[in-house]
Structure 1
Amino acid sequence: MTLRNPLLSRRGWLGLASVFGLAALSGCSASGALNALVPSDSYTLRTDLAYGPQARQRLDVYLPLGRRAPGPVVVFFYGGSWTTGERETYRFVGEALASRGIAVVVADYRLSPQVKYPVFLQDSAQALRWTFENLDALGADPRQVFVMGHSAGAYNAAMLALDPRWLTGAGLKPAQLAGWIGLAGPYDFLPIGNRDVQVAFEWPGTPADSQPLVHASKNSPPALLLAARGDTTVNPVRNSEALARRLKTVGVPVELQVYDRVSHVTLVAALASPLRGLAPVLDDIARFIAQARA
C-alpha cells in the first residue's frame, strides 16, 4: 500500500526531523519510521541478493519504474561507525533515488568487531563488482556507475573512489566510476577517539594510508561532498571541506554543499519524502549525477 502524505509546514518538517534525531539517539528504529512514510510505487525491489558467500555479503536493489534506456546506478553504503547497520532500514534512500530514475544498490558489509579494517572496504569493492557484473539486469549504463555513502559508508565510498587498492583487488579501477557522493563522511580522522572506531581500525596501529584525504589525486573521479554545518559527529571543516580543497587543488571536479538546517543524522534522512524540505539533498545528488553523465 502506498502512503501519501499531505504537505507539511516548516514546523512540521522540523518536528519530524526532531523525532528522527531523538529516535536515533535512543536506539529506536527511526529509519523504520521513515520507511513507513515513503511511497512504494516508484520502484521494483529485489531483496537479499548475494555478492559473496558470507552472511552479510548481501544487497537489495531498487529499480526505477518506466526507465526505457540504460541509465545511472548508485551503490549506497550506510553508516554506523563500522559496527552497526542493516540494508533494510535504508529503503527511503532507495526510493528517493529510484523516484528520480536512478537504480540503487544498497549493500550490507561485514562489521567490527567480527572484522577489522580493511575487510569492510574489501566487501564494499565486491558489492561494486557485483553491480558491474549485473549492469544488464539493472538496466544500467557502465558509464554511469556511482558510489555513495553516509558517514562510515561515505568513508567506504571515498576509499573505493580514491584509493585504487580496493577496486584493483576486485578486478576494477576507480576510473570506471562516473563519480562518487559522500554525505557527512569522515575523510581525515586520525587520531581516533571513538572506542568503536578504535576497535574497527585497531588504533593506535591504524596506518596513515587508511585516510581518504591522502589518496586524492588528479586521477580521482568527480565528487559531490555534502555536509551539515552543525555536525558534531563528523567535523565538516576537517573532513568534507578539506577534502574538497584537496581535490580542487589537483584538478578534480568537485562540488561541496554545506547545509544549515540538518544534522549528521538528518542529512541522510532528508532524502526521505517527508523530510525533503529540510535541505535539497536529493535535488543536489540527482543534479550531480545528471551532470556527471552528460
Structure 2
Amino acid sequence: MTRRRPGKLGWTVIAIAFLALIGFALWRWAVAAGSSGTLDWIDARFARDRAAELVATSGDEPASELWVPEGEPPPGGFPLIVFSHGGGWHSGSPSDYRFVARTFADKGYAAALIGYRLVPEGRYPAMLEDSAAALRWVRDAAERENVDADSMILVGHSAGAYNVLMLGLEPRWLEAAGVPPDTIAGVVSMAGPADFFPFDKESSINAFGHVADGRITQPIRFARADAPPLLLQHGTADTVVRPYNSRNLAQAMQAAGGEAELVEYDGMSHAGLVMGLSRPFAQGGRVLDPILAFAREALSERTASANNSSVPVQRESR
C-alpha cells in the first residue's frame, strides 16, 4: 500500500499549526515567567484593522502612557479605557502591556496604561496613591488629545485589578489626587484579589503585611450601593487568585444594593484571562467582548444621565 505524502497545501497547514503551537507555548511561558514584554512582542506581529498611536507619556517611573486610535475622533473625543497591569505588586511595567492599548484602539477606544511603584517602595497604600495620581495625569493629557476623560472605564488584571477596584470603591484615593470620583463610569476586574485577608502568599504579605489591620486593605470591605458598576471576570482554574475573590465581591456588592456582574470562564487560568486581550489568543472575543459590552453600556448611560439629569436612568438588569 502506497502512502500519499501531503501536498503543498497540506504542508502549509502543518507548518501554520506547528508555528501556532510554538507561539502558544511561548506565550504561556512568557506569562508564567512574568515576561509581559515577550507577550507584547508576539502580539505586535499581528496586524489590526486600526492602529494605535502613542500620544503622551508621563514623566514618572514607571511611566504611564496614553494611546489613541488612528483617524479622527468622534464628537466629544475618543472614549477612554484605563488599564492597570498585574505582577503581584512586585513586577511589571505599563510599556510591557501595549498589546492592551492596541486591542482597545482597534475597537475605537483611547487606552491609558498606568504605572505605580512596586514593592518594596510600592507597599500599601503607595500603589493606590500612585494609581490615583496616574489618573490625574491621564485627565490632564486627555484634554490635549481629543480623549474624553470625564467618563473612564478602569480595567485591571490581577494586582492591577486590585488597584482599580480600590480606586472605584474607596473614593478617598481619587479625592486626594484631585480626581472627581464620579468620572469613573465602571470598573472591570480581571482575576482581581478582592477578599484575600488574612495574607497567606509572599506577594500579599510583602505588599500588605505591615498594615496593622489588614481588613482595611480589602476591596470587599468597601462594597456599596453608589459604587460604579463592576464587571468581575475570573477563570475557574485560576490558582494564583482564587475565583472566590470575585464571587465574594459580587455577592457583597449585590447585598449592598450595588451593581456587579460576574463572568466566570470554565477551565481558564490566571494567565489565560489576560491572554484574551491579545490578538493571537483572543479566543473569538471570549474575554474582550464582555468588556466592550460593559463599557458601551456604562458610557451610554453616563451620557444619557448627563443629557437628562432630571430623569433617572434605569440600568439594564444583569
1:269 correspondence with 2:269: no
Equivalent position to 1:213, from 209, 220, 232: 220
Q: Can you list the C-alpha shifts for 1:235-294, whole angstroms capped at 9, x where unaligned?
A: 11x211111111122222222111125310120111111001166111111111111111
Q: Which amino acid aligns with 1:162?
A: L
Question: How far apart, CA to CA, are the structure 1 residues paired with 2:98 and 2:267?
Answer: 23
Q: Which residue is equivalent to 1:194?
A: 201
Conservation of the 8 A alpha-carbon contact between 1:192 and 1:203: no
After TM superposition, the score normalised by the length of structure 1 is 0.87
Question: How far apart, CA to CA, are the structure 2 residues paired with 1:185 and 1:16?
Answer: 27
Question: How far apart, CA to CA, are the structure 2 residues paired with 1:164 and 1:90?
Answer: 26
Q: Which residue is equivalent to 1:45?
A: 54
Equivalent position to 1:108, from 87, 107, 115: 115
Q: Which residue is equivalent to 1:23?
A: 30
Could you tell me how far 1:176 is from its partner in structure 2?
A: 2.1
Could you tell me how far 1:47 is from its partner in structure 2?
A: 5.3
CA 1:266/1:33 → structure 2, altered by over 3 Å: closer, same or farther?
farther
Q: Can you list the C-alpha shifts for 1:34-85, whole angstroms capped at 9, x where unaligned?
A: 33334375211135322xxx433x2111101223322321111101110000
1:86 correspondence with 2:93: yes
Question: How far apart, CA to CA, are the structure 1 residues paired with 2:226 and 2:42?
Answer: 38
Number of residue-to-residue matches in the alignment: 283
Q: Which amino acid aligns with 1:257?
A: V
Question: How far apart, CA to CA, are the structure 1 residues paired with 2:107 and 2:92?
Answer: 25
Question: How far apart, CA to CA, are the structure 2 residues paired with 1:12 and 1:181?
Answer: 33
Percentage of matched positions with identical amino acids: 34
CA 1:251/1:229 → structure 2, altered by over 3 Å: closer, same or farther?
same
CA 1:17/1:259 → structure 2, altered by over 3 Å: closer, same or farther?
farther
Conservation of the 8 A alpha-carbon contact between 2:151 and 2:299: yes
CA 1:203/1:13 → structure 2, altered by over 3 Å: closer, same or farther?
farther
Question: How far apart, CA to CA, are the structure 2 residues paired with 1:86 and 1:190?
Answer: 26
Higher helix fraction (1 or 2): 2
CA 1:270/1:190 → structure 2, altered by over 3 Å: closer, same or farther?
same
Unaligned runs of 5+ in 2: 1-12, 301-318
After TM superposition, the score normalised by the length of structure 2 is 0.81
Conservation of the 8 A alpha-carbon contact between 2:32 and 2:271: no
Conservation of the 8 A alpha-carbon contact between 1:13 and 1:275: no
CA 1:71/1:33 → structure 2, altered by over 3 Å: closer, same or farther?
closer
Q: Can you list the C-alpha shifts for 1:172-224, whole angstroms capped at 9, x where unaligned?
A: 24322111111000001111122232121134735311000000101100111
Q: Which has the larger radius of gyration?
A: 2
Q: Which amino acid aligns with 1:262?
A: M
3-state SS of the aligned residue for 1:292?
helix
Tell me which of the two structures has the higher relative contact order, counting C-alpha pairs closer than 8 angstroms and 6 or more residues apart. Answer: 1
Q: Which amino acid aligns with 2:278?
A: A
Unaligned runs of 5+ in 1: 1-5
CA 1:242/1:27 → structure 2, altered by over 3 Å: closer, same or farther?
closer
3-state SS of the aligned residue for 1:198?
helix
Could you tell me how far 1:143 is from its partner in structure 2?
A: 4.0
Question: How far apart, CA to CA, are the structure 1 residues paired with 2:267 and 2:109?
Answer: 26
Conservation of the 8 A alpha-carbon contact between 2:78 and 2:148: yes
Q: Which amino acid aligns with 1:260?
A: D
Conservation of the 8 A alpha-carbon contact between 2:64 and 2:113: yes
1:36 correspondence with 2:44: yes
Q: Which residue is equivalent to 1:3?
A: none
Conservation of the 8 A alpha-carbon contact between 1:244 and 1:256: yes
Please identify, of 259-268 and 207-216, the stretch whose mean Cα deviation from structure 2 is larger.
259-268
Matches within 5 A, 1:67-78: 67-69=73-75, 70-78=77-85
1:170 correspondence with 2:180: no
Cα RMSD of the aligned pairs, angstroms, is 2.5
